[in-house]
Amino acid sequence: MKNPLIALVEKQQADKVAELNKTQSDLIKQPSERNIPEIRVGDTVDVHFWIELGEKGRTQVFNGTVIAIKGEKPDEFVTVRRIVQGEGVERIFPLLSPRIAKIDVKKTGHVRRAKLYYLRERVGKATRLKERKKGEAETATKAQKAEKKAAAGK
């Protein structure tokens, strides 16, 4: 049998944790409310984020290729890589950070990997990715493609 005092303390702690979780979820806005587009690995993006310079601040743009997405919402992080004067630069952005003003998707890359860490070893034009066409059916299976071929052949 549990000590009533210990049970009371555990209940109070559980209530505090539940209250903190509720206030935290209220503070975090959903991506749809913040106009954050659907981002995938291989996309070329412009991330507009707020930086503070002393007492002043401004919005800075970091453009590059998304090489990794880690975590799940609301704790999702995006790793963006670009080349500056021959050196690779990577930044990790929390997607729901209030410092991110907006994210623009410039191009969508066609990749078959969840992480593009192999781009770190490549230089120059070798870092380019094939572009995913806008009308490309992402959910089309081989059977659906075969049916289309058969229908076109009749």
Which tens digit of pLDDT belongs to each residue from 41-65? 999 999 999 999 888 989 999 999 9
- Residue 75 gets which letter from DSSP? S
Q: pTM for the complete prediction?
A: 0.66
The answer on pLDDT for 34 being more than 70 is no
71: alpha, beta or left, given left = phi > 0 and alpha = psi -120 to 50?
left
Contact 93, 66 (CB under 8 A): no
Return the HEC string of 24-66.
HHHHCCCHHHHCCCCCCCCCEEEEEEEEEECCEEEEEEEEEEE
* CATH class belonging to 37-131: mainly beta
More confident residue, 33 or 126: 126
What is the pLDDT averaged over residues 17-31? Answer: 67
* Rounded CA separation 48/147 (Å): 44
The answer, yes or no, to whether the previous bond of 37 is cis (omega within 30 of 0) is no
